């Protein structure tokens, strides 16, 4: 289950991420009145944790302006955050993609022995035609199983999870690009977050 240990997989630098949310929540976090809560839905794309779009203000604002049916945001806003990834379960790295296969095979074998069915990645009601399958119950279960195995083996837990997602519609016919493609980060260890900020606009420079 353990991936090969090389020194190149860790990202030692700081990362900027953006979180779409109500303006009231953004301001309360900036003023130190509250903090972001960990999401723990059964359909979360990267398992339990605090979610950010990496270097993608526009995607965060699009989410806040077009939230899922079960989320109400009257005044959409974006919260910026600076964090590092720590020990990251990084699905842009092949060795961790291979862990997904191992975890799924283990769950599938157990389900067959117990004559149970694994959950599926599905589309929400009313949006069945899209290919995105945004309720990712299977992926969530597979990722959580990785964390369970790591805990059972008493290995170092993963502080964060990162994945690249090709989502949305073709930018143009037969395009290799989709209009909601993004990199998403799930922070499991809140100590990775070094600070929050309100995103600022670019100013004209040089000014003459």
pLDDT tens across 46-76, in order?
999 999 999 999 999 999 999 987 889 999 9
Question: What is the H or E stretch that residue 162 is in?
Answer: strand 160-165
CB contact set of 113 (below 8 Å; sequence gap of 6+): none
Looking at the domain assignment, is residue 2 inside a domain? no
pLDDT in tens, 16-30: 999 999 999 999 999
**Residue 79 to residues 24, 60, 93, 153, 205, Cα–Cα distance (Å):** 11, 9, 27, 36, 25
Split into its structural domains, the chain has a count of: 1
Is the separation of the CB atoms in 181 and 168 below 8 Å? yes
Task: With a cut of 60, say whether residue 132 has pLDDT above it.
Answer: yes
Task: Tell me if 3 is assigned to some domain.
Answer: no
pLDDT digits (tens, 9 = 90+) for 177-197: 999 999 999 999 999 999 999
Does the residue 9 lie in any domain?
Answer: no
Geometric angle at alpha carbon 166, from 52 and 124, rounded to 5°: 80
Q: Phi first, then psi: give them for residue 195, nearest 5 degrees.
A: 175, 165
Q: Is 85 inside a domain boundary? A: yes
Residue 120 lies in a domain: yes
- Helices (DSSP H) in 85-175: which residue ranges? 94-114, 137-152
Q: Is residue 68 part of a domain?
A: yes
The β-bridge relationship of strands 193-197 and 182-187 is unpaired
Residue 167 lies in a domain: yes
Per the structure, the complete domain to which residue 70 belongs is given by: 15-197
In the predicted model, is pLDDT for residue 134 greater than 70?
A: yes
Q: Are the C-beta atoms of 182 and 110 separated by less than 8 Å? A: no
Residue 38 lies in a domain: yes
| Torsion sign across C-alpha atoms 71, 40, 125, 133 | positive
């Amino acid at each position: 289950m353990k991936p090969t240990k090389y020194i190149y997989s860790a990202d030692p630098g700081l990362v900027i991420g953006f979180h779409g949310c109500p303006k009231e929540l953004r301001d309360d976090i900036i003023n130190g009145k509250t903090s972001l809560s960990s999401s723990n839905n059964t359909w979360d794309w990267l398992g339990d944790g605090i979610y950010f779009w990496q270097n993608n203000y526009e995607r965060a604002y699009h989410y806040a302006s077009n939230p899922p049916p079960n989320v109400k945001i009257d005044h959409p806003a974006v919260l910026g955050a600076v964090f590092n990834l720590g020990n990251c379960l990084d699905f842009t790295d092949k060795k961790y993609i291979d862990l997904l296969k191992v975890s799924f095979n283990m769950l599938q074998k157990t389900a067959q022995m117990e004559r149970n069915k694994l959950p599926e990645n599905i589309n929400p009601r009313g949006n069945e035609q899209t290919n995105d399958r945004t309720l990712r119950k299977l992926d969530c279960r597979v990722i959580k199983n990785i964390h369970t195995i790591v805990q059972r083996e008493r290995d170092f837990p993963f502080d964060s999870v990162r994945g690249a997602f090709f989502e949305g519609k073709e930018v143009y016919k037969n395009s290799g690009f989709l209009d909601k493609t993004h990199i998403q980060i799930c922070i499991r260890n809140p100590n990775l977050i070094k600070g929050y900020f309100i995103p600022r606009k670019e100013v004209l420079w040089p000014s003459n």
